[in-house]
Chain A
């Protein structure tokens, strides 16, 4: 009884928050509703006895994905008016399509019937004598090891994709290289000059740093030494200027 009530509550809140994700005007609110939806879905998993999935959902989706969304939404300057305009423009068609699809699904659900021996194949979410997590682990690492590894490949592709599409080697950027910093000595950084008393800057010549030389963007630049090189070049120029 309580489980049934909990189910309906979770389900109702899940659907409601999902609708609000789509319809909310403020994207930050959308993401927050999304988090709410995740929590309720986790609740549904719990009711079904799949506590591992419930926890994973909370940790991964709420803890990582949704927070990342939040960051992105807040960092990007999204033009909400334009988005809303788009929503209004397509709303009638969307509503019509949705309505028809919904009707059709109702028709389908009305005629819901299982294939006779359907229960034969269904595995219980809570096998006897084993915890849900252990059972899942067994399945993933034995029966479904192939798919598990293939899924790993998908993540690898995603990683490669992220790097390929966004990572840039910037030759001109300066990076901290602690080793070089530590190895710097006074001799190769400073030049001591004796300045006559009373001489103005025009007489002695003031060492001014020159702008760093323009370097071509080069993808296969040696990693991590850009800053070091630049620093040196800079120093050299400064040095040269002194003579």
Chain B
């Protein structure tokens, strides 16, 4: 019951705000959505504690039957294992904080009820996603968060760039979704069900099932795992399907914090953990996961080092951190990946909200080259930004330290063929992470003010509406790792997860990672500190150094600045050929052939229509005769063909 309230109250808030917001105004919408979100957050925490202290994993909460056609039955049900409950307990409070923050951030917007309704809609869809008890409901939530993300990225629909970014996000995600849907279809074909309990119970039965794809024979689990991961890549912006995430920063900053950092983009990681039963039986797919995760990790980190837009830096950082999570999944340490997911939610949401606060203070300026020298004016934001950065850089005893170290250790200890590559990339990325984080802090807050005088006069600390969530999240960024690591990856992990995450019989990663050389465990921390030092040298001590480096290594700098030319590559590979093809299809295929058919059919229909309507003269006699003739025709047909 409490669990159901936690999931459904955002929906209630969304509906009440969306339907009546226009009539009762924005204040009403804010009160309603935030009220329901607080309710949801409280219920989520209570529910998590119930799950943790229960003897047996609780049964799913069945809300209603969705479909019951023939033998195919689907319920609207809320899964209540540790994984779902933990996700709910993370999503609901973070979303609540971001609702509250938005009150301050969107204070100057008129008619912002739409914004709050969308935010609540998103939260509901996300909760639906993480509590799904079958793949179809999960897909419902998956598409629901996609829709909400689309609406929110394009919230300022009068900006063409926002509209473009919203469409880009939607379309790129469709690519991943296509594969995800295919994966669901294969699961249904294999198991005859999409309900998780059924699937998980029958995993051993289909170990040898085979598919013949493209002339090769594959194990069914490999194919399914591969397809599911491509779906996850789209949602979690992994290398290849990452291009939408930086553009999505067109949305209001709270949206970036909630959707594009803390929750939605981690849905892919969640999917890996949720489907750990299948992934564990698909070592080939896991290798691929490791490859993509590690590559994304380093790739995004390099780009983040040269970006100048404060939100884009954090966006690429998100991309990179998601790469870490997938690395952990690839190593078989799903627990570690979910752990990083949770800690990351705190510190990344914190970083984004701090960035939002800065942007607010700088009169909507996002370019770091036009900031600087404001750290005394925004002490709260500055402090929180520091705490968030310490967490993300993996400085000991902050949240990120526990989870990131666990991931790297697990990667080292795993039997994945690409484990070495993953570890190397991970350590390098840890160095870069620390570097770009302090580059951001120094460029934004220190040095000489580079903004114009007018802007500088208006720099001010944000309202309590915005600062309070920062402080609360900062607590999470500092303590979450220390508090939770025992449960998530420590000695208590087996009881904690209680079967929510499956590890194969040969998978001892979590155990093995305790027994690795100590230098391996220390390396990420060392590189992190080195990264900070480098950033300090380059941007604080010798501020001319970055410019000189950039001109010396012009090609590399340009390569990174243009994000490895991915957008240009896609433009060349897909967009333009498709546009050309589309033009051909449009002019030849569509206008001549396809339009030709319906047009002539339409002409035919219109002609028929004219004929049919012709007898509609309005004369009763004609109508009566039509009826009688019809009757006679029917009787004749009857007598003749009986």
* Interface, chain A (partner B; CB < 8 A): 86, 90, 93-94, 97, 100-101, 104, 107-108
List 13 extra interface pairs beyond A100-B636, A104-B636, CB under 8 A: A90-B621, A90-B625, A93-B625, A93-B629, A97-B625, A97-B628, A101-B628, A101-B631, A101-B632, A101-B635, A104-B632, A104-B635, A108-B639
A101 and B638 CA atoms in complex are apart in Å by 13
Closest B residue to A101 by CB, please name it: B632
Given the contacts A97-B628, A97-B629, A97-B632, A104 and B639 also touching, CB distance less than 8 Å: yes
- A108: B residues at CB distance < 8 A: 639
Partner of A107, one of B625, B628, B629, B639: B639
Nearest CB of B to A29, in Å: 22
Query: How would you classify the secondary structure of chain B's contact residues: helix, strand, loop or mixed?
Result: helix
Question: 1/0 per position for B605-642, CB-CB distance to A under 8 A?
Answer: 00000000000000001000100110110011001000
CA distance A108 to B635 in the complex (A): 11
Give how many B residues have a beta carbon under 8 Å from the other chain's beta carbons.
Answer: 9
Chain B residue with minimal CB distance to A104?
B635
**A-B interface contact total, Cβ < 8 Å:** 22
Contacts of A100 in B (CB 8 A): 632, 636
Chain A residues within an 8 Å CB radius of B625: 90, 93-94, 97
Closest to B631 in A: A101
CA distance A106 to B217 in the complex (A): 72
What are 11 residue pairs bridging A and B, where the CB atoms are less than 8 Å apart in the complex? A93-B629, A97-B629, A100-B632, A101-B628, A101-B631, A101-B632, A101-B635, A104-B632, A104-B635, A104-B636, A108-B639
**B622 nearest in chain A by CB position:** A90
Which residues in A have their C-beta under 8 angstroms from that of B631? 101
Complex alpha-carbon distance, A82 and B471, angstroms:
92
Query: Residue among B625, B629, B632, B639 with the most chain A CB within 10 A?
Result: B632
Q: Which residues of B contact A97 (CB under 8 A)?
A: 625, 628-629, 632
B638 to chain A, nearest CB (A): 9
Q: Which residue of B lies closest to A87 (CB)?
A: B621
Q: How far is the CB of B621 from chain A (nearest CB, A)?
A: 6
- In the complex, which residues of chain B have a beta carbon less than 8 angstroms from the beta carbon of A93? 625, 629
Q: Residue of A at shortest CB range from B619?
A: A86
Q: Give min CB distance, A156 to chain B, whole Å.
A: 27
B331 → A minimal CB distance (Å)? 79
Give Cα distance in the complex from A101 to B631, angstroms. 9
Distance in Å: Cβ of B640 to nearest Cβ of chain A? 10
Q: Would you give the shortest CB distance from A231 to chain B, in whole angstroms?
A: 46
- Point out the residues of chain B lying under 8 angstroms from A90, CB to CB: 621, 625
Distance of A97 Cα from B632 Cα, bound (Å): 7
Query: How far apart are A27's CB and chain B's nearest CB, in angstroms?
Result: 17
How many Å lie between the Cα of A97 and that of B627 in the bound state? 11
Interface string of B440-478 (1 = CB under 8 A from A): 000000000000000000000000000000000000000
Cα–Cα distance between A107 and B640 once the two chains are bound (Å)? 11
Contacts of B628 in A (CB 8 A): 97, 101
Q: Which residues of A contact B621 (CB under 8 A)?
A: 86, 90
CA distance A86 to B621 in the complex (A): 9
**A97→B631 CA distance, assembly (Å):** 10
Which residues from chain A contact B636 at a C-beta distance below 8 Å?
A: 100, 104
Q: A104 to B639: give the CA distance in the assembly, Å.
A: 8
Q: How far is the CB of A79 from chain B (nearest CB, A)?
A: 15
Min Cβ gap B329→A in Å is 72
Q: Which residue of B lies closest to A93 (CB)?
A: B625
Task: Report the Cα distance A86→B636, complex, angstroms.
Answer: 27
Distance of A101 Cα from B630 Cα, bound (Å): 11
Could you say which residues of chain A place their CB within 8 Å of the CB of B629? Answer: 93, 97
What separation, in Å, do the CA atoms of A90 and B632 have in the docked complex?
Answer: 16
What CA separation (Å) do A21 and B274 show in the bound complex?
A: 84
| B-side contacts of A107, CB under 8 Å | 639
Output the nearest chain A residue to B628 by Cβ-Cβ distance: A97
Query: Nearest-CB distance from B197 to chain A (Å)?
Result: 55
C-alpha spacing A94/B628, complex, angstroms: 9
Within 8 A of A (CB), among B560-616: none
Q: How far is the CB of A31 from chain B (nearest CB, A)?
A: 21
Give the CA-CA distance A90 to B621 in the complex, in Å: 8
B193 to chain A, nearest CB (A): 52
Q: B639 to chain A: which residues have CB within 8 Å?
A: 104, 107-108
A108 to B636, CA, bound (A): 11
* Min distance, Cβ A47 to any Cβ of chain B, angstroms: 31
Shortest C-beta distance, A128 to chain B (Å), equals 41
CA distance A93 to B629 in the complex (A): 9
- Give the 3 A-B residue pairs with the shortest CB-CB distance, closest first: A100-B632, A97-B628, A104-B635
How far is A46 from B635 in the complex, measured between Cα atoms in Å? 34
Alpha-carbon distance between A93 and B623 when the two chains are bound, in angstroms: 13
In Å, the complex CA distance between A69 and B317 comes to: 93
Which chain A residues lie closer than 8 Å to B632 at the CB level?
97, 100-101, 104
What's the nearest-Cβ distance from chain A to residue B529, in Å? Answer: 91
CA distance A100 to B629 in the complex (A): 10
